[in-house]
Amino acid sequence: MSSAKLQVINKRFFLGRVGLAPPNWWAEAHPTSNLQFCRSLGKISREEIRMSSFGCTRRDFLRALGLGAASLGLSGCASAPAPLGASRGGGKALKERPNILFCIADDWAWPHASIAGDKVVKTPTFDRVAREGVLFENAFVSAPSCTPSRGAILTGQWHWRLEEGGNLWSTLPAKFTVYPDLLEKAGYHIGFTRKAWGPGYDEPGGRTRNPAGPRFKDFAQFLQARPVRNSLVGGAGRGGRGISNGARPEGAPFCFWFGSQDPHRPYQWRSGVESGMKVEDVKVPACLPDSDQVRTDICDYYWEVQRFDTEVGELLNTLKEKGELDNTLIVMTGDNGLPFPRCKSNLYDRGTNVPLAVRWPAQVKGGRVVEDFVSLSDLAPTFLEVCGLKPAGDMTGRSFLDVLTSGKSGRVDPKRDKVFTGMERHTDRRAGGVGYPMRAIRTHDYLYIRNFKPDRWPAGDPRQGPLGPEGYGDIDGSPSKTYMMEHRDEPGVKGLFELAFGKRPAEELYDLRKDPDQLNNVADRSEYAKSKEKLAAALMAELKATKDPRALGKGDIFDKYPYYGAGAPKESR
């Protein structure tokens, strides 16, 4: 039976078994077992399907705001239309703080949106958010892998600072502050639905709930102003300080995380084509071979991108009905690139450059396209500033609220001329369960990658083995992967196969002015020696300044952390 067929069967099994939307993240460490997924879901149910009888009144809420102001150093009230940061004081102004709706797709890459020029995928909601807000062309994840990418978003830190949280299928130690907790302390009603931080386990890190907050069945339930019973609602929070019992206190602003599992694999084969997409119109990324099978696979990916887009559109409609659309800061983005060879789990743009649009008409002039570099680890300090709070002291991300409110397009902040990315362990599909450590600096003209262990296989070991039916485990099982493996010796595939599946030198440099697709490594060419030296120095300076263990000679620790995904030794689960 083919891998694609198995994936579809697995998806149906889950739908019937748990009665939820397809939980694709289980397949992150392809292949895994149904039993294992259900066990992990059961774990979530035990830990997170808990209700608190604690009610939060309006007075409690306002008191919480006051306490938050004292302990967190509130700079003032961001109340429209007053200038941001202006202090107006008083509960009323605090109450008028904006809501935040954070919508994150799973494995959605730039530029796969119609507003970015893609002729096949249709993303009317993203286009609207971008058109009425700000579209960022150069938004990059910290790591092109679910868990560390989401950890960086929540903590506002580079993922290499997050210890175990720098790896896929890990835990996020409780000592790392996350923005939802800070907003909750300041009186915000917080929560998430579907995929938040993860995949991984909260408990080993000392947490009693997902770092994104309490879990809710959906956005409508989250918005209810009365306690919710008999539902997937998170617990009271660690240390007894949590206040969420599912109720939205009257007048409280909210911060909600909508984590779609789209367009993570597996896909329904030919779902895109059967919905009317034409394979001949697909623009195949240059790192992939041009074949009907790959084009069909891309259409299936697009089909799930569209499902995410449609669902976010429904959330916007809900906000409009409640009269809260225009004082809600809405963000649409993705956690890493598309799940295809040399894309996701790689530091090339198709792995790290994600769509990002921000809409907040109360304070942000729309209709703008910004070229500044933004890391998704900048979101946490941005959210905090938007809500009148200061970033936590350990955050390495930098608020881009000034860019949002500048009213400008193009290159706005000269300091935002570069971004950093990195990768530790994705799957455990190398001998010894080690990762493929890399770090990169991306500027407008160059992409420089440092591979710290060039003797290892970037995409996972090629061997067949008991851990999976095929090797190269860091590449999600897919029709495109299968096609490349089966045609690896053919002209038109051979070179691309080597780039995606083969080993790589310690340094890679791509001249984006001549090679925007990042296929020709010029790291060894003398005419680039000076540029390479400058980029390498800037990269290492940032890594050292932010105490990256990999740059301090202590990077092997990342390979020693437990891996909680499929195929992991029993004792580490």
Part in contact with Ca ion (CB under 5 A); list of ranges 67-75, 102-110, 160-168, 549-557: 102-110
- Comparison of 105 and 412: residue with beta carbon closer to Ca ion: 105
Structural contact between residues 354 and 140, judged by C-beta atoms closer than 8 angstroms? yes
Part in contact with Ca ion (CB under 5 A); list of ranges 1-9, 79-87, 107-115, 433-441: 107-115
Q: How far is the CB of 425 from Ca ion (least distance, A)?
A: 15
Residue (of 473, 108, 135, 114) closest to 298 by Cα position? 108
By CB under 5 A, name the one of 47, 96, 106, 548 that touches Ca ion: 106
| Cα 194 from Cα 23, distance rounded (Å) | 8
Q: How far is the CB of 465 from Ca ion (least distance, A)?
A: 25
| Cα 63 from Cα 85, distance rounded (Å) | 21
Q: Kindly give, in sequence order, each residue whose CB lies less than 8 Å from that of residue 132, ignoring residues fewer than 6 positions away.
A: 359, 361, 366, 367
Q: How far is the CB of 526 from Ca ion (least distance, A)?
A: 39
Part in contact with Ca ion (CB under 5 A); list of ranges 58-66, 213-221, 284-292, 327-335: 327-335
What six digits make up the tokens of 479? 């029709």
Part in contact with Ca ion (CB under 5 A); list of ranges 42-50, 100-108, 398-406, 408-416: 100-108
Q: How far is the CB of 335 from Ca ion (least distance, A)?
A: 4
| Cα 438 from Cα 457, distance rounded (Å) | 12
Q: How far is the CB of 222 from Ca ion (least distance, A)?
A: 22
Residue (of 569, 566, 568) closest to 37 by Cα position? 566
| Contacts (CB under 5 A) with Ca ion, residues 183-212 | none
Structural contact between residues 149 and 143, judged by C-beta atoms closer than 8 angstroms? yes
Write out the DSSP string of 80-124.
TTSPTT----SHHHHHTPPEEEEEEESS--TT-SGGGT-SS---H
Q: How far is the CB of 344 from Ca ion (least distance, A)?
A: 7
- Comparison of 106 and 118: residue with beta carbon closer to Ca ion: 106
| Contacts (CB under 5 A) with Ca ion, residues 328-347 | 335-336
| H-helix or E-strand spanning residue 532 | helix 529-545
Residue 132 interacting with Ca ion (CB under 5 A):
no
Part in contact with Ca ion (CB under 5 A); list of ranges 69-77, 101-109, 174-182, 299-307: 101-109
Q: Kindly give, in sequence order, each residue whose CB lies less than 8 Å from that of residue 249, ignoring residues fewer than 6 positions away.
A: 56, 57, 58, 60, 61, 187, 189, 225
Strands (E), 188-265: 189-194, 254-259
Q: How far is the CB of 29 from Ca ion (least distance, A)?
A: 12
Give CB contacts under 8 A, 24+ apart, made by 519-527.
519/286, 519/287, 523/448
| Contacts (CB under 5 A) with Ca ion, residues 28-67 | none
- Comparison of 118 and 335: residue with beta carbon closer to Ca ion: 335
| Cα 508 from Cα 83, distance rounded (Å) | 45
| Cα 457 from Cα 462, distance rounded (Å) | 8
Q: How far is the CB of 533 from Ca ion (least distance, A)?
A: 34
- Comparison of 106 and 202: residue with beta carbon closer to Ca ion: 106
- Comparison of 107 and 181: residue with beta carbon closer to Ca ion: 107
- Comparison of 337 and 471: residue with beta carbon closer to Ca ion: 337
| Cα 111 from Cα 85, distance rounded (Å) | 34
Residue with tokens 């705001």: 65
Q: How far is the CB of 211 from Ca ion (least distance, A)?
A: 16
- Comparison of 98 and 565: residue with beta carbon closer to Ca ion: 565
Q: How far is the CB of 305 from Ca ion (least distance, A)?
A: 13
Residue 107 interacting with Ca ion (CB under 5 A):
yes
By CB under 5 A, name the one of 146, 279, 319, 523 that touches Ca ion: 146
Q: How far is the CB of 264 from Ca ion (least distance, A)?
A: 6
For residue 41, is it left (φ>0), alpha (ψ between -120 and 50) or beta? alpha
* Size of residue set near Ca ion by CB under 5 A: 5
| Cα 449 from Cα 147, distance rounded (Å) | 21
- Comparison of 104 and 387: residue with beta carbon closer to Ca ion: 104
Q: Which residue is nearest to Ca ion (CB)?
A: 146
Q: How far is the CB of 482 from Ca ion (least distance, A)?
A: 20
Residue (of 559, 295, 300) closest to 432 by Cα position? 559
Residue 262 interacting with Ca ion (CB under 5 A):
no
- Comparison of 29 and 523: residue with beta carbon closer to Ca ion: 29
- Comparison of 64 and 312: residue with beta carbon closer to Ca ion: 312
Part in contact with Ca ion (CB under 5 A); list of ranges 77-85, 103-111, 168-176, 395-403: 103-111
Question: Which residues lie near Ca ion (CB under 5 A)?
Answer: 106-107, 146, 335-336
